[in-house]
Amino acid sequence: MSYRFHVHRTQPAFRLVTLRDADFPAEARVEDWRFTVERERADTNPDVARLVDETGYCLFKIGMSFDEISEGQIGS
């Protein structure tokens, strides 16, 4: 099983991971994302792989601050 990693074109802190042969998430526009790398399950963070398996994708942000947590910008 392979996972495809994408970076948002205008907000590069955001990353999207999908299964190799899966449809792109309906909530996302393909043209907003740039493919970066494909990784096997063994080379993918277990939490990321679990979310992709459960929901069809994993969306996350690189470089968050502790202020974002305290300001309630992160869902539980």
- Average confidence (pLDDT) over 31-43: 98
pLDDT tens digit sequence for 1-31: 899 999 999 999 999 999 999 999 999 999 9
pLDDT tens digit sequence for 45-63: 999 999 999 999 999 999 9
pTM of the model: 0.85
* Least confident span in 2-6, 38-42, 66-70: 66-70
Residue 32 burial (CB count, 10 A)? 13
At 19 the pLDDT is 97
Nearest CA among 30, 35, 29 for reference residue 7: 35
Better-scored residue on pLDDT, 33 or 72:
33
